[in-house]
């Protein structure tokens, strides 16, 4: 049975020893973020240790940043200063909790389910295949279901009763421009097709009823805004924002899925039960009926306002920029809503584990289109878009370069700043092996390729916002057919017969502790 709502997930986390309640009063202005830092990030030494362990066991999931002194758990702050409502944070901040969110033992199970669907007879081509999902979903009845009302309507507040400061909204870092809603699901409709989009875009609170809307230029919410503005620059678009829902639904806003593929359908697929959608009170959007908090309102198409700075997941502040403005006209909520939030900052933070799950879950989709891809890794320090390591089964000259170009054209992977392509026999989750073999395989001038393209808005080093250069490193063995005519040496490995002989001798050498 799917989690009915966020509070069921809280109960499950608690039962699994994955959640701590904090009864002391803690200030959502800076203090909560600092507490989270001490729980979710081990000291540098521990990090190095866990990395070495992970490398030794070929398993990145082992480097879960479990730290001796403070255990990495979800935190439920029962008394955030200045608010009547509890605050849930770090709920998804480990591989284990991500697996609990998707109700699986291993994230690979989700990948296998997706693979099962992709294997069904579908037209050729990645997007066609992915677009088949809604059709398959209709058959499998994952499609969202309209209902008249739900727990998200226990309390309805309109007009001057609306006050965002009722909620324990975080200020995360000292130079942040204000308090930010960090875990919202932003609902809009494509003004041309009427299709829904749901995205997780942070919202800076300007006053009781106004926030920023941080739609980065390549994101689907931004596209809805632009299309509506092109039709009627003086108009407005309806926007509703959900804070807190069952885990699959809450996470669906960050999924890098194609435009016009409904995130709520995908959430239904993930939770194996349709998401029930209730109509909003003041606009024509629908929101998950099990939501904790819903903010209904609109964005004016001719209004922009300075947003930021914001301590971002790059580990640096993203600077001020001009973004649309969200006006809240109505709040609907549970009587005692749980305020779901997260902190981003120097990696790794909670969002690393969300990104890691996405990497694992979407790997079969990448492999489907590019079967030569054996594995993909995005290390935490690469903050999703800065570094992607790809292992391929190389079968023709220039194959590594082809994969680089493929990644630079694949959905949000277009943002990838550095791609390293290695042969299939490199364990890319063991960074020490990866760095060693990559460096050994390089003639830098020959093997490094530059390209230009769209950049993540948050990249502060790019020559311009949203546009800059990328680098691909071909660290595969070089072939004669690629102009490399020298012999390529074998990797040093002891032969099995000698190993067996030493195994037999081993005890007599008394070398064990
Ligand atoms: C914690 C967190 C915060 C995020 N904040 C933003 C943001 O402020 N603006 C943005 O454009 N994307 C942000 N993202 C990334 C988007 O959620 C992600 O790119 C998503 O796929 C966008 O949905 P879309 O493809 O429907 O536009 C954030 C992701 C996470 C995990
Ligand atoms: Mn989308």
pLDDT at residue 63, as a whole number = 47
- pLDDT confidence band for 1 (50 / 70 / 90): confident
Closest Cα partner for 129 from 362, 355, 358, 357?
Answer: 362
Pocket of ligand 1, beta carbon within 6 A: 182, 197, 199-202, 214-216, 219-221, 253-256, 342, 344, 351, 354, 412
Dist CA 151 CA 57 (whole Å): 46
- Rounded to the nearest angstrom, the distance between the alpha carbon of 199 and the centre of ligand 1 is 6
Q: Is the pLDDT of residue 135 over 60?
A: no
* pLDDT exceeds cutoff 50 at 22: yes
Inform me whether the pLDDT recorded for 78 exceeds 90.
yes
Among 312, 447, 456, 474, the one annotated catalytic: 312
Model pLDDT, residue 69: 63
Proximal ligand: closest to the CA of 266:
2
Q: Whose CA is nearest to atom 12 of ligand 1?
A: 201
Residue 302 has a pLDDT of: 98
Mean pLDDT of 324-338: 98
Average pLDDT score over residue span 138-152: 86
In which element (H, E) is residue 237 found?
Answer: strand 236-243
Query: How large is the average pLDDT for residues 405-431?
Result: 97
Query: Which residue of 199, 250, 255, 385 sits with most ligand 1 atoms within 8 Å of its CB, as the best mutation to test the pocket?
Result: 199
Whether 87 has a pLDDT exceeding 80, the answer reads yes
C-alpha of residue 56 to centroid of ligand 2, in Å? 38
Helix (H) or strand (E) holding 131: helix 126-140
Q: How many CA atoms lie within 13 A of 207 on its CB side?
A: 6
**Residue 412: nearest ligand to its CA?**
1
Q: pLDDT, tens digit, for every residue of 208-251? A: 999 999 999 999 999 999 999 999 999 999 999 999 999 999 99
Q: For residues 15-33, give the mean pLDDT.
A: 98
The ligand 1 atom at the shortest distance from the C-alpha of residue 200 is: 17
Predicted confidence band of residue 6 (pLDDT cuts 50, 70, 90) = very high
Is the confidence at residue 136, as pLDDT, over 70? no
pLDDT of residue 174 exceeding 70: yes
pTM (global) more than 0.85: yes
What average pLDDT does this structure show over 398-419? 97
pLDDT score recorded for residue 147? 98
Flag whether pLDDT at 453 surpasses 80. yes
* pLDDT for residue 255 is more than 70: yes
| Ligand 1 pocket test target in 170, 219, 225 with most atoms within 8 Å of CB | 219
CA 85 to ligand 1 center in whole angstroms: 25
pLDDT at site 114? 84
Residue 312 among the catalytic residues = yes
Atom of ligand 1 nearest to the CA of 342: 1
Quick one: what percent of the chain has pLDDT higher than 90?
Answer: 86
Give CA 508 to chain center in angstroms: 52
**Atom number of ligand 1 nearest to Cα 221:** 27
Please state, in angstroms and as integers, the Cα–Cα distance from residue 346 to each residue in 343, 354, 457, following that order: 10, 15, 17
CA of 327 from ligand 1 middle (Å) equals: 20
pLDDT(132) > 70: no
Mean pLDDT of the 75-94 span? 98
What is the tens place of the pLDDT at every residue in 33-44?
A: 999 999 997 655
On the 0-12 / 13-18 / 19+ scale of CB atoms within 10 A, 248 is buried
**8 A C-beta contact, residue 180 and residue 170:** yes
CB atoms within 10 A of CB 165: 12
pLDDT at 41: 79
- Measured in Å, residue 259 CA sits from the centre of ligand 2 at 5
Query: Which DSSP state fits 404?
Result: H
Ligand nearest to the CA of 218: 1
Taking 3-state DSSP, the helix, strand and coil percentages for the chain, each rounded to the nearest 5, stand at 35, 25, 40
Residue 55 pLDDT: 45
State in Å: Cα 185 to ligand 2 middle. 11
How far lies 226's CA from each of 29, 86, 146, 220, 324, in Å?
Answer: 34, 36, 28, 10, 11
pLDDT at 57 over 50: no
16 pLDDT higher than 70: yes
Distance 327 CA to ligand 2 centre (A): 22
Q: State the pLDDT at residue 116.
A: 81
Q: What is the predicted pLDDT for the residue at 381? A: 94
In percent, the amount of the chain with pLDDT more than 70 equals 90
Nearest protein Cα to ligand 1, atom 19: 254
pLDDT at 387: 98
Inform me whether the pLDDT recorded for 68 exceeds 70: no
Q: Which residues surround ligand 2, an ion (CB under 5 A)?
A: 197, 220
- More confident: 70 or 13: 13
Shortest-distance ligand to the CA of residue 211: 1
Q: Per-residue pLDDT averaged across 5-31, rounded?
A: 98
Q: How many residues does the chain have?
A: 513
Could you identify the atom of ligand 1 that is nearest to the CA of residue 255?
A: 21
pLDDT of 45 strictly over 80: no
**What DSSP element (H or E) covers 373?**
strand 373-377
DSSP 208: T
pLDDT score recorded for residue 117: 75
pLDDT for 441 beyond 70: yes
Q: Are 396 and 476 in contact (CB under 8 A)?
A: no
Q: Atom of ligand 1 at shortest distance to CA of 344?
A: 1
């Amino acid at each position: 049975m799917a989690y009915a709502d966020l509070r069921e997930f809280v109960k499950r986390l608690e039962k699994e020893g994955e959640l701590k309640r904090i009864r002391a009063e803690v200030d959502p202005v800076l203090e909560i973020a600092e507490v989270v830092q001490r729980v979710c990030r081990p000291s540098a030494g521990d990090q190095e240790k866990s990395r070495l362990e992970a490398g030794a066991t070929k398993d990145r999931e082992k480097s879960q940043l479990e730290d001796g002194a403070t255990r990495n758990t979800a935190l439920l702050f029962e008394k955030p200063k200045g608010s009547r409502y509890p605050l849930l944070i770090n709920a998804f901040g480990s591989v284990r909790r991500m697996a609990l969110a998707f109700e699986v033992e291993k994230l690979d199970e989700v990948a296998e389910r997706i693979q099962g669907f992709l294997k069904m007879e579908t037209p050729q081509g990645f997007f066609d295949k992915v677009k088949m999902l809604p059709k398959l979903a209709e058959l499998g009845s994952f499609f969202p279901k309209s209902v008249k009302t739900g727990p998200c309507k226990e309390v309805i507040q309109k007009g001057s009763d609306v006050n965002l400061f009722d909620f324990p909204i975080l200020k995360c870092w000292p130079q942040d421009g204000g308090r930010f809603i960090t875990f919202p699901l932003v609902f809009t409709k494509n003004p041309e097709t009427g299709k829904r989009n749901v995205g997780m875009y942070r919202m800076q609170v300007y006053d009781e009823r106004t926030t920023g809307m941080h739609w980065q230029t390549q994101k689907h919410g931004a596209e809805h805004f632009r299309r509506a503005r092109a039709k009627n620059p003086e108009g407005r678009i309806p926007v509703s924002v959900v804070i807190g829902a069952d885990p699959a639904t809450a996470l669906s806003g960050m999924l890098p899925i194609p435009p016009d593929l409904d995130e709520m359908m995908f959430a239904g697929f993930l939770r194996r039960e349709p998401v029930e959608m209730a109509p909003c009170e003041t606009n024509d959007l629908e929101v998950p009926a099990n939501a904790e908090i819903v903010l209904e309102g609109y964005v004016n198409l001719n209004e922009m306002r300075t947003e930021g700075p914001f301590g971002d997941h790059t580990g640096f502040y993203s600077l001020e920029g001009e973004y649309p403005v969200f006006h809240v006209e109505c709040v609907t909520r549970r009587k005692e809503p749980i305020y779901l939030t997260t902190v981003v900052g120097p990696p790794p933070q909670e969002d690393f584990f969300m990104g890691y799950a996405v990497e694992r879950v979407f790997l079969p989709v990448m492999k489907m289109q590019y079967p030569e891809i054996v594995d993909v890794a995005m290390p935490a320090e690469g903050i999703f878009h800065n570094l992607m390591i790809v292992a391929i089964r190389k079968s023709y000259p220039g194959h590594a370069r082809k994969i680089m170009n493929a990644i630079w054209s694949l959905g949000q992977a277009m943002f990838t700043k550095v791609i390293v392509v290695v042969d299939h026999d490199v364990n890319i989750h063991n960074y020490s092996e990866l760095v060693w073999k990559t460096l050994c395989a390089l003639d830098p001038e020959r093997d490094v390729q530059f390209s230009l393209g769209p950049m993540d808005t948050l990249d502060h080093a790019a020559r311009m916002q949203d546009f800059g250069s990328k680098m691909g490193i071909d660290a595969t063995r070089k072939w004669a057919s690629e102009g490399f005519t020298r012999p390529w040496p074998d990797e040093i490995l002891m032969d099995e017969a000698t190993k067996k002989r030493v195994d037999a001798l081993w005890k007599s050498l008394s070398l064990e502790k």
